[in-house]
Amino acid sequence: MTKIIPARVQLAAKRGFVRTTYQAAAATLGGGITLNAVLGLVRGEIDPVVALISAAVALTSPLIAGAASYFDIASKGIPEDYQIDQV
């Protein structure tokens, strides 16, 4: 049975998903969450709506970025920069 996505490409796509998700989570937590927490402390108030929206963005943004990476690699194949030269 022929697979639509070759095993090597599928593995690369999974790795791309994990790497991109972690990178996006680090950026989201480091930037967005910290910024909202600092602003809340400086102002002496924590707005529940802003906190909920920030939490939703922090949870969904990395997954969306990871999924975009996965589907990009799965549809286009392993990027040339990621391939090991066959000498």
Quick: pLDDT tens for 4-46. Answer: 888 889 999 999 999 999 999 988 877 766 777 777 778 888 7
Residue pair 12/82 in contact by the 8 Å Cβ criterion: yes
CA atoms 11, 16, 17, 18: torsion sign: positive
**CA distances (Å), origin 72, targets 17, 25, 39, 75:** 10, 19, 36, 5
Residue 86 tokens, joined: 């066959």
Helix (H) or strand (E) holding 48: helix 48-76
pLDDT at position 87, please?
A: 47
pLDDT at position 58, please?
A: 83
Q: Enter the pTM of the model.
A: 0.74
- Per the model's pLDDT, the better-predicted residue between 82 and 76 turns out to be 76
Per-residue pLDDT tens digits for 38-47: 777 788 887 7
